[in-house]
Chains A and B, each alone.
Chain A
């Protein structure tokens, strides 16, 4: 039986206590706990909700009971949702009618939770009574309706729409024959899901969430409660509200820059069993048999995360050198020194170590996840750095790899080439900083880097990466306006704009595409409505050189002025001061918006000689 908190109001005084409230709900997401936390949502939102978002929920079933869970999960991720829940079954009218609650509210994201059993019931409850052709007609008609509604909405709004896919039935219509038959229920529903994927490719900014995968993972037999389904059109059992809400939010995070980026791991009893300082290199548990194989399996799961773009680091309390020795010499290690962007081994507390890692990597501490087996270390981390997501490993190492699988905070909608080699990029970054430590003056340091910058104008293969950068870059970003791939493609193909992407290589390797700008090419005045750069490149004069290149192009084209805006946010402090360094003048302010400009007639300062420039 769940534990019931007799004190309905926990004291919420700071971010750490707010997160403790949410973690307590997550530990036992009962209706009572969800409601108790929901009652304090305003106080929680003031401390945790840093990204306000108007979220609309459209559904074929009663979705209101999920609202509190969605909002609480959102806060844990950093969202402050203003949630609109449309009456059940009204999704088509809401999408089509210009005066619907959905359209009137100007949503910034839409969850479209349609269950196929609600809209095409024959495919589920009387499949054997219809012919394959009739089944095809039913699906054809449904996709025509859905496509029409979505296209109509798309003409009005570019907000991302996240649709859930269709679930397999609890019991297949043809019984054991269903798995193999050519016109089985399973194959019909798989076809429906393939058509849904196709729709998401045809209509911009439409995403498919694997709801069927979630139901299968959690427990298909107990996912629905027939009592609430039949009585109130609430199909999902109340015990799963929390899980379903988390599923929706994890799909929203990457669209609004709220996915985590870095996983910091403890070493002893996390990467291997035992304490290296006590048992030595040959005494730690790591190998073919339990418990050593549990740690090997865990490391493989971590490596797999890394290979889709998650940056790894180590924070371990140990004698300096000991952890490094295991990384270099232990034959069973899956993870090696090259996989870690930073390794902190000392007897100092771990929260400052994480801060150091964040500084080294130029990443916000709120994009960090910390994993440790020690409840003491985890507790200290939660209290000192509540913005870090702290995950305590279970007592039994057999459960370690499941802790990795349960993380839904690193999600990205697309995995780019840059993601696959991100680890190398950050590893090289550490090499560059070491070089910086031995070089005396900065120009000498810049020269030793042998930097080569390549600029691409309206280069269509960069559409995905450009959009991704607008969604992920929070720090060196003039105003953190997010762009979809479609937005970027539009800028690239009209006559007025340039989308300039910039790639950088140096003696340590290829950094890939690390910055972008949108340029509005006027006659007298060129404007820069979007300018951003990956933080790991900052401080090497690349950012100034990039803006100077744009200014020079404007001057060559006969432009007299360059204009750009800066809108300070909670995260883009690294950008402040940048325009001034580049010689721009703060012309005026309007609200939060600072307008900066440069007079091009006076000439443009050249790009420093330590950067080679090529244009593609």
Chain B
């Protein structure tokens, strides 16, 4: 990553890459019901990508697709990553 990139930019860029959407659309309003690429399989990819990029390990229960951008953010916060 460009070392100047903030955690917040990085977060957006990960979500955008995995869900194949533009970074601008990554807001708290983005939910699995609103993007058809946010299916159960891609959600697992999303969790995997967040783990890879932020160097953390999340619990299996987070693979469940009952989530939203704010939930993902607070999940990262629990692991010491503030976005």
Contact = CB atoms under 8 A, between A and B. Distances in A.
Is chain B a partner of chain A in the same complex? Answer: yes
Interface of A: 1-6, 8, 30-33, 35-36, 39, 62, 64-65, 227-228, 230-232, 234, 238-239
Given A3-B1, A4-B10, A232-B44, A31 B63 contact: no
Contacts of A1: 1, 53-55
Interface residues of B, number: 26
Given A35-B17, A35-B20, A238 B48 contact: yes
Interface majority SS (helix, strand, loop, mixed), chain A? helix
Contact of B63 (A2, A6, A62, A227): A227
A32 B44 CA distance: 13
A580 to B, nearest CB: 52
Nearest to A5: B1
Contacts of A36: 17
B2 interface: yes
A228 B1 contact: no
Nearest to A39: B20
B52 A239 contact: yes
Contacts of A230: 60
A11 B17 CA distance: 16
Most buried by A among B44, B48, B59, B63: B48
A228 B45 CA distance: 10
Given A4-B1, A6-B5, A6-B9, A32 B53 contact: yes
B25 interface: no
Interface string B1-35: 11001000110011011101001000000000000
Contacts of A64: 41
B49 interface: yes
A30 B53 contact: yes
A31 B44 CA distance: 11
Q: Enumerate the 7 nearest inter-chain pairs by beta-carbon distance, A residue then B residue, closest first.
A: A4-B1, A238-B48, A31-B49, A227-B60, A32-B17, A231-B63, A35-B17
A30 B50 CA distance: 10
B2 A6 contact: yes
B67 to A, nearest CB: 14
A218 B13 CA distance: 29
A440 to B, nearest CB: 65
A30 B41 contact: no
B41 A65 contact: yes
23 contacts: A1-B54, A6-B1, A6-B2, A6-B5, A6-B9, A6-B13, A8-B13, A30-B49, A30-B53, A31-B17, A31-B18, A31-B49, A32-B13, A32-B52, A35-B18, A35-B20, A65-B44, A65-B45, A228-B63, A231-B44, A232-B40, A234-B44, A238-B48
Nearest to B10: A4
Contacts of A231: 44, 60, 63-64
A238 B45 contact: yes
Given A31-B18, A227-B60, A232-B63, 14 more contacts: A2-B53, A3-B1, A4-B1, A6-B1, A6-B13, A8-B17, A8-B23, A31-B17, A32-B52, A36-B17, A39-B17, A230-B60, A231-B63, A234-B44
A140 to B, nearest CB: 35
Contact of A32 (B14, B40, B63): B14
Nearest to B23: A8
A592 B20 CA distance: 39
Contacts of B63: 227-228, 231-232
Contacts of A33: 17
Contact of A35 (B2, B45, B59): B45
Contact of A4 (B5, B41, B59): B5
A39 B48 CA distance: 18
A30 B45 CA distance: 10
Nearest to B52: A30
